[in-house]
Amino acid sequence: MAELKTTQTQVSPAEFVNSVEHKTRHKDATFLLPWFTEITGFEPVMWGPSIIGYGRYYYKYDTGHEGEYLITGYSPRKANLVFYIMPGYRDLSEPLSRLGKHKLGKSCLYVNKLADIDLEVLAEIVTAGVSYMHKNYQTWDK
């Protein structure tokens, strides 16, 4: 069975954010560190080399593959800010319609910069995702 590539690391999220060279991504990532903690109640933990995750959950697929992954988080990538909402964007079309300029992947929300979106709506989306995960999965804070 394949090993999950994205796992928790010992790297400090603050140190990672301080290393972000793109000025806008750095500013946005710095703002988001405490913002996500306030919204989720979880402390940030690095997952892999570039994802700042909040909380974790246990999953097991019908295939028998199982593991742990972040409940929510973000990554200040070169092309976009990427938000991770697990396990995807079920029934979130209404708040997404109010969010502002964005693109969607399966469990990823891509924005160019925080100034392009409504942070109150992002808080609704993150909160809905965290609530869903608590109701449907075994979850932990770190």
Domain residue spans of the chain: 13-140
- The whole-angstrom distance between residue 123's C-alpha and the CA centroid of its chain comes to 12
Alpha helices, DSSP H, located in the chain: 13-18, 23-40, 93-99, 119-136
Contacts of 131 (CB under 8 A, 6+ apart): none
- So what CATH class is 13-140? alpha beta
pLDDT 10s per residue in the chain (142 long)? 456 678 899 999 999 999 999 999 999 999 999 999 999 999 999 999 999 999 999 988 888 888 889 999 999 999 999 999 987 777 889 999 999 999 998 889 999 999 999 999 999 999 999 999 999 988 877 5
